């Protein structure tokens, strides 16, 4: 087995550049794709070759499967890296790559299908002894069974779309009289968003920590984990700050999380890299929530504390090479924090696309910036608003926070609004500094002094 020779990156922005960087270091040629409006984009400039795949709207370009497969064929790319978002969790795309004899750099189509069927994944893991939140065993078939299960587990309950993501098709139900209406609303929302109305129900656990474990699995099924990320600073299901290790996870809990994550990978016959998502409640109860079958935006915090290049690992594994590291050699070194810089108003989070008239990026010891922006570039309204990720790595959490504050103060971005002022506020907030935050933290901060 040897490495793939040329990779087409079916993505844009900072993640396309991240993949190009890994390819360059591995001696792999790169093909960028772009939409009609993006010919001056940095990912196009940095790639060896590029192909225009369609009009600006994502549905016509970055989601256009026939166009992307043709681009791979005419450039003789042997593999496609999907990045995150777009086609990264589309089992039909992974299948279509296979049919065209193009290596999809990611898990198997079956892994992706199961990851996208959250009630089924939960059902399988529960059967194998991994703790899950009490609730329906699989989908709920009708309102009557929803009512009887809710009565059994007790209110509040949460109704979730099995195909869900980003909080769509999700309803918290606080009392029995509200359940039937919430069921209909969740079903309609799920049908509209995902084309399927399958729902499941579980006990609602308030004030949780969102903890996810990075895994990597070799072709022989050997699974390792790279520790956890704490993604509890979120707004409307959009993560804003992530860190590793979590400030609330003890060594004992970490071991448990790692064990469950590896077991999940084995039970689900998972391949390549992925993330096992858990929620941790106030009594340190750990529950499996879902499996993410892509590389995630926040992967750099794990790279910082483990020294493992997750994108290179993905490429090596997809090439049929074994894992480059053993579990016993993975040591968590120091603490890393990532702030997502979005082209948005820092108070209302309304999108703020436009031309960047002046740019200076931070750097220096312990700071990594992954971005596609440059002085004079235009942030387009067609795509997501993430323009840069800043990752600070220090010996301790306090060191990482201090480095992050320093880095945020160095940024000079003129012409558009960004969420940098928001991050500066969070990084001086006593609850954040003490590690005392959960997924409800931002709501309380807003009611207070943000």
Give the residue with the Cβ less far from ligand MV4, 237 or 355. Answer: 237
Q: Which residues contact 434 (CB under 8 A, 6 or more apart)?
A: none
**Least Å distance between CB 129 and ligand MV4?**
19
The CA dihedral of 116, 117, 122, 128, to the nearest 10 degrees, is -90
Number of H helices, E strands in the chain: 15, 20
Give the residue with the Cβ less far from ligand MV4, 203 or 397. Answer: 203
Indicate whether 444 belongs to the interface with ligand MV4 (CB under 6 A). Answer: no
C-alpha–C-alpha distance, residues 292 and 112, integer Å: 8
**Least Å distance between CB 204 and ligand MV4?**
5
**Least Å distance between CB 105 and ligand MV4?**
25
**Least Å distance between CB 170 and ligand MV4?**
6
**Least Å distance between CB 135 and ligand MV4?**
7
Helix (H) or strand (E) holding 189: helix 179-194
C-beta of residue 370 within 8 angstroms of C-beta of residue 392: no
Q: Which residues contact 109 (CB under 8 A, 6 or more apart)?
A: 91, 94, 95, 98
Question: What is the per-residue burial (b if ≥16 Cβ within 10 Å, else e) of 76-112?
Answer: ebbbbbbbbbbbbbbbebbbbbeeeebbbbbbbbebb
Q: Which residues contact 381 (CB under 8 A, 6 or more apart)?
A: 351, 353
Indicate whether 158 belongs to the interface with ligand MV4 (CB under 6 A). Answer: yes
Q: Which of 439, 441, 442, 445 binds ligand MV4 (CB under 6 A)?
A: 439
Indicate whether 213 belongs to the interface with ligand MV4 (CB under 6 A). Answer: no
Give the residue with the Cβ less far from ligand MV4, 170 or 356. Answer: 170
C-beta of residue 305 within 8 angstroms of C-beta of residue 393: yes
Question: What is the per-residue burial (b if ≥16 Cβ within 10 Å, else e) of 291-317?
Answer: bbbbbbbbbbbbbbbbebbbbbbbbbb
Which span (55-63, 199-207, 332-340, 429-437) binds ligand MV4, by CB under 6 A?
199-207
Indicate whether 202 belongs to the interface with ligand MV4 (CB under 6 A). Answer: yes
Q: Which of 210, 229, 299, 389 binds ligand MV4 (CB under 6 A)?
A: 210
Has 254 been annotated as catalytic? no
Helix (H) or strand (E) holding 433: helix 430-434
C-beta of residue 102 within 8 angstroms of C-beta of residue 72: yes
Q: Which of 5, 39, 144, 237 binds ligand MV4 (CB under 6 A)?
A: 237
Name the β-bridge partners of 336. 244, 393
Indicate whether 133 belongs to the interface with ligand MV4 (CB under 6 A). Answer: yes
Nearest to 234 by CA among 201, 209, 205: 209
**Least Å distance between CB 425 and ligand MV4?**
19
Residue 328's CB is within 10 A of a number of other CB atoms, namely: 7
Cα 364 versus chain centre, distance: 26
Q: Is 149 helix (H, G, I), strand (E, B) or coil?
A: helix
Q: Which of 56, 167, 334, 415 binds ligand MV4 (CB under 6 A)?
A: 167
Give the residue with the Cβ less far from ligand MV4, 168 or 405. Answer: 168
Indicate whether 354 belongs to the interface with ligand MV4 (CB under 6 A). Answer: no
Give the residue with the Cβ less far from ligand MV4, 205 or 286. Answer: 205
**Least Å distance between CB 116 and ligand MV4?**
13
Which span (136-144, 196-204, 358-366, 412-420) binds ligand MV4, by CB under 6 A?
196-204
Q: Which of 153, 205, 248, 321 binds ligand MV4 (CB under 6 A)?
A: 205
Give the residue with the Cβ less far from ligand MV4, 10 or 279. Answer: 279
List 18, 209, 294, 368, catalytic entry: 294
**Least Å distance between CB 212 and ligand MV4?**
10
Q: Which of 22, 146, 208, 295 binds ligand MV4 (CB under 6 A)?
A: 208
Give the residue with the Cβ less far from ligand MV4, 64 or 439. Answer: 439
Which span (19-27, 106-114, 198-206, 302-310) binds ligand MV4, by CB under 6 A?
198-206
- Give, in degrees to the nearest 5, the angle at Cα 91 between 76 and 221: 90
Give the residue with the Cβ less far from ligand MV4, 15 or 170. Answer: 170
The residues annotated as belonging to the active site are 294
- Binding residues (CB under 6 A) for ligand MV4: these are 133, 158, 167, 202-205, 208, 210, 234, 237, 439
């Amino acid at each position: 087995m040897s490495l793939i020779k040329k990779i087409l990156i079916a993505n844009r922005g900072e993640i396309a550049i991240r993949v190009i960087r890994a390819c360059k270091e591995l001696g792999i040629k790169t093909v960028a794709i772009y939409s009609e409006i993006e010919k001056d984009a940095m990912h196009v400039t940095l790639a060896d070759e590029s192909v225009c795949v369609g009009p600006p709207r994502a549905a016509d370009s970055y989601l256009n499967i026939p166009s992307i497969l043709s681009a791979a064929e005419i450039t003789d790319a042997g593999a496609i890296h999907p990045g995150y978002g777009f086609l990264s969790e589309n089992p039909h795309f992974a299948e279509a790559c296979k049919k065209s004899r193009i290596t999809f750099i990611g898990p198997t189509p079956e892994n992706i299908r199961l990851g996208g069927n959250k009630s089924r994944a939960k059902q399988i893991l529960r059967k194998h002894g991994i703790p899950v939140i009490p609730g329906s065993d699989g989908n709920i078939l009708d309102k009557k069974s929803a009512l009887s299960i809710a009565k059994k587990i007790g209110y509040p309950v949460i109704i979730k779309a099995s195909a869900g993501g980003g909080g769509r098709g999700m309803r918290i139900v606080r009392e029995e009289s509200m359940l039937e209406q919430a069921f209909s609303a969740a079903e309609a929302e799920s049908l509209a968003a995902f084309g399927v109305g399958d729902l499941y129900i579980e006990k609602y656990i308030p004030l949780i920590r969102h903890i996810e474990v990075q895994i990597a699995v070799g072709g022989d099924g050997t699974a390792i984990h790279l520790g956890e990320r704490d993604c509890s600073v979120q707004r409307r299901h959009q993560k804003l700050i992530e860190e590793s290790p979590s400030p609330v996870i003890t060594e004992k809990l970490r071991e448990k999380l790692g064990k469950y994550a590896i077991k999940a990978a084995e039970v689900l016959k998972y391949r390549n890299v992925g993330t096992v998502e858990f929620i941790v409640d106030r009594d340190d109860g750990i529950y499996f929530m879902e499996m993410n079958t892509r590389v995630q935006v926040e992967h750099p915090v794990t790279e910082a504390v483990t020294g493992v290049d997750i994108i290179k690992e993905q490429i090596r594994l997809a090439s049929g090479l074994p894992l480059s590291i053993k579990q016993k050699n993975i040591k968590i070194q120091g603490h890393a924090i990532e702030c997502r810089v979005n082209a948005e108003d820092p108070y209302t989070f309304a999108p703020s696309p436009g031309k960047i008239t002046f740019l200076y990026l931070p750097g220096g010891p312990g700071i990594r910036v992954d971005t596609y922006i440059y002085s004079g570039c235009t942030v387009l309204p067609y795509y997501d608003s993430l323009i840069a990720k800043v990752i600070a790595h220090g010996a301790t959490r306090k060191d990482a926070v201090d480095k992050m504050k320093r880095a945020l103060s160095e940024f000079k971005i003129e012409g558009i609004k960004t969420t940098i002022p928001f991050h500066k506020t969070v990084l001086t907030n006593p609850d954040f500094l003490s590690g005392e935050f959960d997924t409800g933290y931002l709501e309380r901060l807003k009611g207070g002094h943000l």
